Amino acid sequence: MKAIVFPKVGEYRVDDIPEPEPQEGQVIVKVKTSGICGTDVHILRGEFPISFPVIPGHEFTGVISKVGRGVKALKEGKLVAIEPNLWCGRCEFCRRGLTNYCADFGAFGFTTQGAYAEYVAVPAKNIYLLPDDADLETFSLAEPLSCVLHGQSKLSSILGKKVVVLGAGPIGVLHALIGRMRGASRVLLYSRGVYRLELAQRLFGLEYIESFDGIIDSLGGKADIVIESTGSTTMALRALDIVKNCGEVLYFGAPPSEQTIPLIPFYIYRNEIKVIGSFSLVSKDFLSALSLLQEQNEFKKTITHRFRLDEFGKFLEIEKTRKFLKAIFIFD
């Protein structure tokens, strides 16, 4: 089968590798859609702690093509979405429902073969059945959307609040859409790149601002909630300047793992600011994302580019320009 391999930092190639066979408790998924995540690009650039070689891809849907021994409830030909995290279900964190902190945590495209490939072997417990007429492109957003839902579940109620989202990539836009859906009184999207801001406005009618210094004026005061989705340490620090006393700052974007910021603890103390982290998702977020995607297909409009597996080079060219929102691979 065809797969994209990252053999080492900065390199990729389309390879022919053996198709996986289902182990006990697994099914084989013939991949139909596979989202290209910002994290995959970080991996390629060596900005994410991971061991090479790796076949990335953790945002995928497909059809069950083979069923392994011991799998009862799943049948060939069924359309499925895949929860990408691998967890044991037995350790302390798993028992608390915090599977993203499993002692044996792994994920497709990170610790095991991902979905930049035609077939993936998946444990049955990671499989979520979709309706036979499901639009798989829509459901390819299940992973990023569930991460967004996971992050926002850590905030107090958004209802009636003024929310600023830093970063207008697909994740920033999803945060803004969920914030609006949950009754924020204002949702203001900030980015340095006007192209994506205009796109977010055109596609979803989202309100944006290009000038960071203009945010407080535009809101008529500081924000109740700031969601940092750029992954920039500078923005992580500046987010604290635009949140009001007793407000919340969600660190959602993944910053470089070693970078520090000159934080003034007195400021956090004196203003009772809550700084909240969010990493990945747990199963209940994945389920919530699937229902949301089933209920409304507004989210699908975030997908602006579709590529074949052998067009990854073409994607990387567009990635440089930032003139896209969400890109996915589509398969026959």
Task: List residues near Zn ion by CB under 5 A.
Answer: 37, 87-88, 91, 94, 102
Residue closer to Zn ion by CB (options 152, 184) is: 152
Query: Residue type at 332?
Result: D
Task: Return the C-alpha torsion angle 61, 63, 65, 67, nearest 10.
Answer: 80
Contacts of residue 161, Cβ cutoff 8 Å, sequence gap at least 6: 184, 185, 224, 225
Interatomic CA distance for residues 292 and 273, integer angstroms: 31
Rg (CA), the chain: 20
CA-based angle 151:250:114, to the nearest 5?
Answer: 45
Residue closer to Zn ion by CB (options 98, 194) is: 98
CB of 1 to Zn ion, least distance (A): 22
- Nearest by Cα to 1 from 41, 28, 37, 39: 28
Q: Distances from the Cα of 218 to the Cαs of 99, 160, 188, 211, 213, in angstroms?
A: 40, 17, 9, 10, 10
- For 41, half-sphere exposure in the C-beta direction (CA atoms, 13 angstrom radius) is 16
CB of 189 to Zn ion, least distance (A): 20
Query: Residue type at 43?
Result: I
The residues pairing with 27 across neighbouring beta strands, listed in sequence order, are 67, 122
CB of 92 to Zn ion, least distance (A): 8
Query: Residue type at 291?
Result: S
Report yes or no: 31 and 115 within 8 Å, Cβ to Cβ.
yes
Interatomic CA distance for residues 163 and 187, integer angstroms: 5
